[in-house]
Amino acid sequence: MTGLGERLKAVSSRLSRSTGSGARDQQPDTGLRAALQGAVRLALRSPLYRMSLAGKRPAALTLMPADPWTGDGQRGLQILQGNFMACGQSFPIDARVWAPVGAHDGWRADLHGFLWLRDLVATGHEEGRARARELLAAWLATQGLWDQVTWRADVLGNRLTGWVCHYAYLADGLPADIQGQFLDQIAMQARHLARVALQAPPGALRLQALRGLVLVGLALGLPERSRDRARALLVTEVKRQIFADGGHISRSPQVHQAVLKDLIHIRDALHRARAEVPSDVIVAIDRMAPWLRFMRHGDGGLALFNDTNEDEAASVDAVLQQADGTGAIPASAPHSGFQRLVSGRTVLVVDAGSPGELDGTAHAGTLSFEVSFAKERLIVNCGAHFSDRSEWRRVQRATAAHSTVSIDDVNSAEVLGPCSLWPGSIGQRPRQVTAVMQEQDGHLWLDLSHDGYLSRFGLVHHRRLFMTAGGEDIRGEDTLSPPAGISRVAGQRFTARFHLHPRANAMMVQDGTAVLIRLSSGVPWRNMPNRSSSPDH
């Protein structure tokens, strides 16, 4: 399509149940910065720094926090069979497993984080315990020195969490000398984590570091002032990261679920230790659980916004059960920037906000939406790539990978490549995103707009969505128009994409003037383009 007059209508379409009729790419470090970072790395790997972490070896753990999360038994069996898979990579478990050639940072962080211990536990095999001890002994023998990735604050927090929660699983039956090394490492890494926890990137990774700091403080019986400091740091991060509507600052349903799991883990560990649970943590959990329900489709899985992939409904159910919250699903999530239309068995979720600031999960998907009917997905976004460095991951963050409108296949927000902290970020983004919901006689209207194309093309994207009472008729209209006093750039091509779920089959009907979409259950929906826009109201 090409531009047509002052107002460009990208799509005016109707979908009904058929009844049979920011910032630029990170620049290279300056010579001075690189020299300083190199000096810091050398200092952290030096014998002097290691000596600074020395202290009295604890005789035993005073508390072993429980792990509230059941592992993946299938992944545990893969580990037993001699392969470790993470972030799209797989390497054999052999003498080189702790530093295999070609492993990217995400894979190494997962392995060195030791949270896969719960996967071995989930196998129910005694061989799992033997494999865990074998890997622990190898780690203690070869990995005691500081490393830029494997001693990163979030990885350290995960490792200490895994170690103290599964201490009995690991330590029972170990030779006395290895048990001693194990306790030495827990205490030494706890001291290091206390120094560097806030060096973790702000967001979910910092909460992983702080979870480790809280749990290891309980496990080692550290002085109350140390545990108070850890709780205070945790409260500061919770206040910073959780919006008033319960959403996480990343705006990623998947990251949100992971953060909620971490806060539940901390809450339960403090309860078991008869220690005070900060009220801000309790309030955050109570707010986050309804938001997680808000982002579910009829199949129980999460909507695919901002680096989220389809997950088993059972995993979401487990988190919500542990959250023990009773709050109702909110009508909207204005602080985190999402809207939800529900009628009958139809659910429609819309990204009505500017991309998030943290965690490298932000996609250029403003005003994109997903639709599910009953337990089947109909219109979706493309989700996330499982690798943290693949170019495919950048492709799936693009506007074209979302069910929305793009101009000249330019992203509505600037998608940047990986940097040292996380696998991707956002530069220039929409500055103003609006969303207004109205309801009348059970019918729902949602009027939205974003200005992500204003600076480059002089156009604002307006999207209007309508759902009838009963949810069996969805209509949408997209309009690209210049604000008053702004001259648009002539001649742009624009595209409206509606990505169908892989299990939704489409075929042309009515001499090619309409599309029939049949879900795997056999339920048909019919696309009826070029109809009038949603009814006036």
For 281, the token pair is 């943590």
The percentage of the chain sitting over the pLDDT mark of 70, rounded to a whole number, equals 91
Q: What is the mean pLDDT of the chain?
A: 89
Q: 511 pLDDT exceeds 80?
A: yes
pLDDT-based confidence at residue 419 (cuts at 50, 70, 90)? low
- Burial profile 295-314: b = 16 or more Cβ within 10 angstroms, e = fewer: bbbbbbbbbbbbbbebeebe
Please count the other Cβ atoms lying within 10 Å of the Cβ belonging to residue 286: 15
Contact 287, 245 (CB under 8 A): yes
Q: How far apart are CA 299 and CA 510, in angstroms?
A: 31
Q: 23 pLDDT exceeds 60?
A: no
Q: How far is CA 57 from CA 168, 180, 183, 185, 527, in A?
A: 18, 8, 7, 9, 69
Give per-residue pLDDT as tens, 148-173: 999 999 999 999 999 999 999 999 88
User: 189 — phi, psi (to 5°)?
Assistant: -70, -30
Q: 530 pLDDT exceeds 80?
A: no
According to the model, what pLDDT value does residue 4 have? 33
Q: For residues 26-40, give the mean pLDDT.
A: 69
According to the model, what pLDDT value does residue 17 have? 65
Q: How far apart are CA 73 and CA 318, in angstroms?
A: 16
Contact 246, 281 (CB under 8 A): no
Domains detected in the chain? 8-22+363-527 (2.70.98.70), 45-331 (1.50.10.100)
Q: How far apart are CA 382 and CA 401, in angstroms?
A: 5
User: 453 — phi, psi (to 5°)?
Assistant: -105, 5
Q: 207 pLDDT exceeds 90?
A: yes
Contact 532, 11 (CB under 8 A): no
According to the model, what pLDDT value does residue 392 have? 80
Higher per-residue pLDDT: 9 or 379? 379
Q: For residues 434-461, give the mean pLDDT.
A: 96
For 348, the token pair is 């429609």
Give the E-state strand segments of 174-333 in sequence order.
332-333
Q: 129 pLDDT exceeds 90?
A: yes
According to the model, what pLDDT value does residue 70 have? 95
According to the model, what pLDDT value does residue 371 have? 98
Q: Positive or negative CA dihedral for 153, 156, 196, 215?
A: positive
Q: What is the 3-state secondary structure (H, E, C) of 103-128?
A: CCHHHHHHHHHCCCHHHHHHHCCHHH
Q: How many Cα atoms are found within 13 Å in the side-chain-facing hemisphere of 424?
A: 29
End-to-end CA distance of the chain: 29
Please report, as a single letter, which amino acid is at residue 77: L
According to the model, what pLDDT value does residue 26 have? 43
Q: 534 pLDDT exceeds 70?
A: no
- Burial profile 463-500: b = 16 or more Cβ within 10 angstroms, e = fewer: bbbbbbeebbbbbbbbbbbbeeeeebeeebebebbbbb
- Only one residue has tokens 């315990």, namely 129
Q: How far apart are CA 90 and CA 72, in angstroms?
A: 16
According to the model, what pLDDT value does residue 389 have? 63
Q: 18 pLDDT exceeds 80?
A: no
Q: For residues 287-295, give the mean pLDDT.
A: 97
According to the model, what pLDDT value does residue 3 have? 38
According to the model, what pLDDT value does residue 9 have? 44
pLDDT-based confidence at residue 29 (cuts at 50, 70, 90)? low
The percentage of the chain sitting over the pLDDT mark of 90, rounded to a whole number, equals 74
Give per-residue pLDDT as tens, 239-274: 999 999 999 999 999 999 999 999 999 999 999 999
Looking at the DSSP bridge assignments, the partners of residue 330 are: none
Looking at the DSSP bridge assignments, the partners of residue 343 are: 346
Contact 381, 467 (CB under 8 A): no
According to the model, what pLDDT value does residue 327 have? 84
Give per-residue pLDDT as tens, 81-128: 999 999 889 999 998 999 999 998 889 999 999 999 999 999 999 999
Which distant-in-sequence residues (6+ apart) come within 8 Å of 49 by Cβ?
Answer: 43, 146
pLDDT-based confidence at residue 31 (cuts at 50, 70, 90)? confident
Asked which of 198-202, 332-336, 420-424 is least confident by mean pLDDT, the reply is 420-424
According to the model, what pLDDT value does residue 19 have? 53
Q: How far apart are CA 112 and CA 208, in angstroms?
A: 14
Looking at the DSSP bridge assignments, the partners of residue 416 are: 425
Asked which of 253-267, 459-473, 509-523 is least confident by mean pLDDT, the reply is 509-523
According to the model, what pLDDT value does residue 423 have? 56
Higher per-residue pLDDT: 193 or 14? 193
Please report, as a single letter, which amino acid is at residue 504: A
Give per-residue pLDDT as tens, 367-396: 999 999 999 999 999 998 776 666 788 899
Task: Annotate 33-89 with DSSP letters as a single string.
Answer: HHHHHHHHHHHHTSHHHHHHT--PPPSS-S------S---HHHHHHHHTTEEEETTE
